[in-house]
Every structure is written in C-alpha cells, then in structure tokens.
Amino acid sequence: MDLSNSIYDFTQGDTWRIFRIMGEFVEAFEKLAKVGRAVTIFGSARTKPSDPYYKKAVETGRLLAKEKFAVITGGGPGIMEAANKGARNGRGVSVGLNIELPFEQKPNRYQTHPIMFHYFFCRKVCFVKYSSAFVYFPGGFGTLDELFEALTLVQTKRINEAPVILVGRKYWKGLGTWLGQALSRGKFISPPDMGLFHVVDEPEEVSRIIRRFCQVHNGTEED
C-alpha cells in the first residue's frame, strides 16, 4: 500500500476541506466577536469614486462610525471601499471580509480589521452573524444574493429582526414593483413581508433608521 498516495488523496478530498472550513470560521468568529455592534454594507465592486453612490457610501460609513457601529464590507473596491473609507474617516472600526477571486476582488486599503476567506459560504455566514443591520447600495448578482439571503433569514426568523435598507430609490424601484406585483399579489409572500425592507436615498436616512431601531429594541426609545 502506498501511504504517500493515500495521504495525498485525503488532503485533496472533501474530508480535508472540512478542516479548512473550520479554520476560516474559527479565525473569523474570534476576530468579529471583538468588534462590537456592526452594520454590513453591500454594493458593487465596480462603482467608481466619481459616482454619487460611492460618495454616499463614504458618508454612510462615516455616520455609522460616529454612532459607534463597526462597518463590515466585502473588503473590495467600489462601494465596499467607500464604506470602509467612511468608517476609517469617522475613526471607527472598518472590517473587510475579503474573498479570493480571480477578478474584481482586490482588498482596499481602508480596512482596520481585514479577514480573508476562501469559501463564499463561510464569508456569508459572517456577514450575517455579527450585523445589527444590512445596507444595500446598487450592485450586481452578489449584492442581490446577499439581499435575498438577509430577507429570507429575517422573514423566517432564523436571525433576530434587523433593518434591511436599500439605498437609491431610482435603482431599486423596479425590484420593489416586481416584488409587490409578482410575489405579494401572487401570494408567494405575505403582504407584511413587503415591510421587511426600507428604501431611502440619503446616508442620514440610513443612520436614522438604524439608530431608531436600536433605541426601540434596546429599550431606550426617546420621548
């Protein structure tokens, strides 16, 4: 029996991958458990610094940092970079959950707490597990994937209630119309499910919704 080949087969197989997966979770959990309450911000990696949404993401990150929220992003360019930059400018905690990709994903320089992932699903768990709210700027498949994951988890009560905020009424209008007409009227979701998310335009609205939610749910509602 060739033991060297057997060991090679084991380390290249699915069983061995379990240990890499465990390692990613352990490292991420240990680091994220120390950042305190946090908000995850999603959006396109392709958004340029000259884009109005980039500038709004910077301001959103800054405002959240001033409210003592850590800002979590996917760690890449575009909206992710903008939100990390805003958190850094606000002297807050700026977390980047970076993923190994052959294109698009290059870690931005504004992260105070960078964490690397090989597996998408490990990264997705960490986006959700440590967030008190979810903010979505215009984006592509990845942004939509994360949006519907959060909505599903909130709807099914697999996670605690949390604000889900879409930034850009013009961008999200078509999706909202389709959800109302195709899903809600078709009875694929319940009418109250349309209230699981907010659609706003300005960073101040994002901050206000999250701050209000925390006041109500932490028993510190203002008169």
Q: Which domains does the chain have, with CATH numbers?
A: 3-217 (3.40.50.450)
Measured CA to CA, the distance from residue 118 to residue 57 in angstroms comes to: 26
Q: What is the pTM of this model?
A: 0.90
Query: What pLDDT was estimated at residue 221?
Result: 43
Contact criterion met (CB below 8 Å) for 210 and 69: yes
pLDDT, position 121: 95
Structural element, H or E, at residue 157:
none
Name the band, by pLDDT with cuts 50, 70 and 90, for residue 9.
low
pLDDT > 70 fraction of the chain, expressed in percent and rounded: 91
Between 4 and 211, name the one with better pLDDT: 211
CA dihedral 93, 149, 216, 57 (to 10 degrees): 40
> How confident is the model at residue 12, as a pLDDT?
64
Write the pLDDT tens digit of every residue in 10-29: 456 778 889 999 999 999 99
* The pLDDT of residue 1: 46
Give φ, ψ of 126 to 5 degrees: -75, -30
Residue 66 has pLDDT above 70, yes or no: yes
Which H helix or E strand runs over 118? none
Q: Are 39 and 64 in contact (CB under 8 A)?
A: yes
User: pLDDT tens digit string along 117-163?
Assistant: 999 999 999 999 999 999 999 999 999 999 999 999 999 999 999 99
HEC string of the chain?
CCHHHHHHHHHCCHHHHHHHHHHHHHHHHHHHCCCCCEEEEECCCCCCCCCHHHHHHHHHHHHHHHCCCEEEECCCCCHHHHHHHHHHHCCCCEEEEEECCCCCCCCCCCCCEEEEECCHHHHHHHHHHCCCEEEECCCCHHHHHHHHHHHHHHHCCCCCCCCEEEECHHHHHHHHHHHHHHHHCCCCCCHHHHHCCEEECCHHHHHHHHHHHHHHHCCCCCC
Written as one letter, the residue type at 150 is A
Confidence of residue 218 (pLDDT cuts 50, 70, 90): confident
Task: Check residue 103 and give its pLDDT.
Answer: 66
Residue 159: per-residue pLDDT: 95
